Amino acid sequence: LKVRRPPRRRGGLLTFKDMITHSPAMERVIRLGQKAAASNIPILIEGESGVGKELVARAIQGSGDRRSKPFVTVNCGAIPDNLVESILFGHEKGSFTGATDKHTGKFVEAHSGTLFLDEIGDLPLDVQVKLLRAVQDGEVDPVGGRSTVRVDIRLISATHRNLLQQVKDGKFREDLFYRLNVYPIFVPPLRDRRDDIPYLVTHFMEKVAPADPHRRLQGISAAALAVLQAYDWPGNIRQLENAVFRASVLCEGDVLSAEDFPQIRAQVEGTVNLDMDGDAPAPSQSLQERDDEALPGEGGPAIAFDPPARLQPRFGTLRALDERGNVRALADVELEMIKLAIDHYNGQMSEVARRLGIGRSTLYRKLKEHGIDPETGRVDR
Count Cα neighbours of 243 within 13 Å in the Cβ-side half-sphere.
Answer: 31
Domain ranges of the chain: 24-187, 192-305, 330-369
* Whole-number pLDDT of residue 341: 84
Residue 304 predicted with pLDDT over 70: no
CATH of 192-305 given 1.10.8.60, 3.20.20.140, 1.20.970.10, 3.60.21.10:
1.10.8.60
The sign of the torsion formed by the CA atoms of 327, 332, 338, 343 equals: negative
Q: Which of 84-93, 106-115, 127-136, 232-241 has the lowest mean pLDDT?
A: 84-93
Distant-in-sequence, close-in-space partners of 368: CB < 8 Å, separation ≥ 6: none
Flag whether pLDDT at 2 surpasses 60. no
Question: pLDDT, tens digit, for every residue of 86-111?
Answer: 888 886 765 666 666 777 889 999 99
**Average pLDDT for 270-294:** 44
Of the pLDDT bands very low, low, confident and very high (cuts 50, 70, 90), residue 315 is: very low
Q: Which carries the bigger pLDDT value, residue 297 or residue 304? A: 304
| pLDDT of 204 strictly over 70 | yes
Q: Can you tell me the mean pLDDT for 166-171?
A: 94
Per this entry, what is the length of the chain?
Answer: 381
- Please state, for a pLDDT cut of 70, what percent of the chain lies above it: 75
353: left (phi over 0), alpha (psi -120 to 50) or beta: alpha
* First-to-last C-alpha distance (Å) of the chain: 38
- Assigned architecture for domain 330-369: Orthogonal Bundle (1.10)
Residue 257: per-residue pLDDT: 92
Rounded to whole angstroms, the Cα distance separating 44 from 307 reads 36
From CA 310, how far away is CA 329, in angstroms rounded?
31
> What distance in Å separates the CA atoms of residue 60 and residue 158, rounded to the nearest whole number?
13
Rounded Cα gap, residues 303 and 220, in angstroms: 8
Q: How far apart are CA 55 and CA 219, in angstroms?
A: 26
Mean confidence (pLDDT) of the chain = 79
**Beta 139-140 vs 149-150: how paired, if at all?**
antiparallel
**Percent of all residues in the chain with a pLDDT value above 90, rounded to a whole number:** 40
**pLDDT above 80 for 76:** yes
Q: Can you give the pLDDT at residue 100?
A: 62
Amino acid at 57: A
User: Do the domains at 192-305 and 330-369 have one common CATH topology?
Assistant: no
Q: Out of 3.50.50.60, 3.30.1330.60, 3.40.50.300, 1.10.240.10, select the CATH number for domain 24-187.
A: 3.40.50.300
